[in-house]
Amino acid sequence: PELKDLNSSMTTSEMAREVEELRKDCASYTEKLERIKSATNHVTPEEKEKVCSEQKLYCKEWRRRKRMATELLEAILEGYPKSKKQFFEEVGIETDEDHNVTLPVAV
């Protein structure tokens, strides 16, 4: 068993190459980290707040429009002789649920 372990392990020269490759990788990652840290294009808190408030506004509008459309469709379906599914197919209505779309969670 010990001979098998020794035969399957790396040689000294292979290990030296591996160590050298890892050092190169480490150096490139360190350089990349320094570039990221020194970047001047960070998002300011004001920009972040603006984007978050816009997202809240759009989500609120999405909910409002979805509620209005649902109420309108329910009113139409009251006098419609067929099922809701058949009506949607005839008219060509696709819902968020048909495409597994959910509203984003408010940030």
Q: What is d(CA 62, CA 69) in angstroms, rounded to the nearest whole number?
A: 10
pLDDT tens digits, one per residue of 5-35: 777 777 888 889 999 999 999 999 999 998 8
Tell whether the model's pLDDT for residue 57 goes beyond 90: yes
Q: Is the pTM of this model over 0.75?
A: no
Of the chain, the percentage scoring pLDDT greater than 70 comes to 97
The ranges assigned to domains in the chain are 1-38, 45-99
What value does the mean pLDDT of the chain take?
A: 88
pLDDT tens digits, one per residue of 71-82: 999 999 998 899
Q: How far from 39 is each of 10, 23, 31, CA to CA, in Å?
A: 41, 24, 12
pLDDT at 107: 55
